[in-house]
Each structure stands twice: as C-alpha cells, then as structure tokens.
C-alpha cells in the first residue's frame, strides 16, 4: 500500500495492479529488479523442489555454471512446438502443456526431432538463454482438457540420459510462471498481463515474450523435472472456461 502512494512511474504502475489476480506477482518482480536481481526463479505455491536422494537437500535450481551441458537441439518445421513427447512423459500419447494449441495436439510434426547435443553458454554469439522452464512431475502444468481426458499423476524422463531441450528460434512453445528461471537479459519478460484471466496470464506472457526473443537473440530451454507439483484444489470446468480466453 505504501508503494501505491509513490509519485512517478513506480507508483502509477503499482496502482494499476489488480488485487486477487495472478498478475499481482508483477510487484514482486519489480521489487527484485530494483534490488539488482540477476535471476528470477518463478514458482507457484503448490510446486515443491525435489530432494537429492543422497544428501536429502533440495536439488540445485539456479545455474551454478556459465553453461547448460548436453542441451538437445531440435529440428522442427512448424512454428508450434510440443515439447512433451521429446521429454518422454510416463503416459501414452498425446500429452501437451497448458497453452499449447489444441488443434495441433495430434500433429506429429509439432513434436520435432532431436538433431544433436551441445553445451549452451548462458551468453554466446549465437544467443543468450532467456528462460529455463523446468517440467514438473506428479500433477504438472497441463490444461483442463488434458486433466479431464488423460491419466494423472504423470512424470517425465529424469534419468541420466535426460537432457534439456532448446526450442528452435522460429518456433513457439508455451511456458509458465510455476517453475521457470528468467535470466538477467530477460527479466523484462516477467511482466504478466492483467487484462486476461489469471489462469492464462503467464501463457500469454510466454507467447508475447517469444515474439521479442526472436529479435533479441534470447532462447527458451525446457529442462527435466526438478519439481514435484502437488496441485491445489481446482474447479476443472472453471479452468476450462478461463483457458478459452
């Protein structure tokens, strides 16, 4: 409330943020940026970081090196990329993320093919990593149609052979605000729209951001699950209605 009384652009921005909307997270992003954040780990209250089997401590989330090792580079024709199949879900096909266009869920061409693996620096001449989206095991971020029609719980490949996936430059794939890292060059891309239902605010954000990523040499990476989602109670039909926005 004190911020709402400020003069200038910060106060004006705070006053536009609606209460009881997912987009109010924007105030947390603004606070972190003003205090010099280098990374954001954007997560939800029903997501839990997995524990290391040996130490019993939470696994590392923020990158500890200047590169991601063994990132799978994907070849893809269409502009829509469904990252679920290449990350090996435990349930039979089809499977897709919240926000993926439903008309393409059975289109094999959107699944892409693994071309090769390489280490990807966070900053390089070929582009910087803007967002790392971790998948989640258990009750992951899928849409209401998926929840109503497909079995749960489900998991994704987290074996020693599991790798992160680099989304092709020309392609779009929805990512969320439930278990993602924004690096410093992409902190601007955390801004959540507040003129749409909170259920889809982060999805619209992801598509808007990727439009600019393409012109800013920023890349989107999907990473194997380090998160277990134990989902809060939801009304599936309410989610279905909100996701139609």
Q: Is the dihedral of CA 82, 83, 86, 89 positive or negative?
A: negative
| 47 neighbors 75 (Cβ within 8 angstroms) | no
The pLDDT of residue 34 is above 80: yes
| 120 compared with 29, residue with greater pLDDT | 29
Q: What is the pLDDT of residue 231?
A: 87
| 3-class SS of residue 119 | strand
Reported confidence tier of residue 125, pLDDT bands at 50, 70, 90 = low
Residue 61 banded pLDDT, cuts 50, 70, 90? confident
Q: Which residues, other chains included, contact 55 with Cβ-Cβ below 8 Å and sequence gap of 6+? A: none
* pLDDT score of 126 more than 70: no
Q: Can you tell me which residue has the tokens 């966070």?
A: 122
pLDDT > 70? residue 96: yes
Q: What pLDDT, on the 0 to 100 scale, is given for residue 8?
A: 84
Q: What phi and psi, each to the nearest 5 degrees, are found at residue 21?
A: -130, 145
* pLDDT, position 53: 87
State phi, psi for 80 to the nearest 5 degrees. Answer: -95, 130
73 and 116 Cβ atoms separated by less than 8 Å: yes
Could you tell me what percentage of the chain is helix, strand and coil, using 3-state DSSP and rounding each to the nearest 5?
A: 30, 25, 45
Q: Using 50, 70 and 90 to split pLDDT, how confident is the model at 105?
A: very high
Give 3-17 pLDDT, tens digit per residue: 777 788 888 888 999
With pLDDT > 90 as the criterion, what percentage of the chain qualifies? 72
**pLDDT in the model for residue 124:** 66
DSSP assignment string, 31-61: HHHHTT-SEEEEE-TTEEEPBPTTT-SBPP-
pLDDT tens readout for residues 191-232:
999 999 999 999 999 999 999 998 999 999 999 999 999 988
Give residue 68's pLDDT: 84
């Amino acid at each position: 409330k004190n911020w709402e009384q400020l003069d200038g652009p910060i106060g004006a921005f705070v006053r536009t943020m609606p209460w009881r909307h997912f987009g109010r997270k924007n105030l947390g992003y603004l606070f972190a940026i003003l205090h010099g954040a280098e990374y954001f780990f954007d997560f939800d209250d029903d997501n839990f970081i997995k524990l290391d089997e040996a130490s019993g401590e939470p696994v590392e989330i923020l990158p500890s090196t200047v590169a991601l090792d063994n990132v799978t580079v994907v070849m893809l024709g269409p502009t829509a990329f469904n990252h679920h199949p290449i990350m090996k879900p435990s349930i039979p096909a089809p499977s897709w993320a919240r926000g993926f266009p439903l008309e393409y869920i059975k289109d094999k061409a959107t699944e892409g093919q693994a071309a090769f693996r390489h280490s990807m620096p966070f900053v390089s001449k070929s582009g910087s990593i803007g967002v790392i989206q971790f998948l989640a095991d258990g009750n992951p971020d899928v849409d209401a149609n998926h929840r109503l029609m497909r079995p749960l719980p489900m998991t994704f490949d987290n074996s020693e052979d599991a790798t992160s996936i680099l989304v092709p430059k020309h392609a779009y794939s929805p990512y969320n605000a439930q278990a993602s890292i924004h690096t410093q060059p992409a902190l601007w891309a955390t801004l959540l729209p507040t003129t749409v239902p909170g259920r889809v605010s982060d999805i619209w954000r992801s598509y808007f951001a990727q439009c600019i990523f393409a012109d800013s040499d920023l890349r989107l990476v999907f990473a194997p699950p380090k998160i277990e989602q134990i989902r809060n109670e939801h009304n599936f039909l309410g989610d279905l209605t909100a996701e139609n926005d």
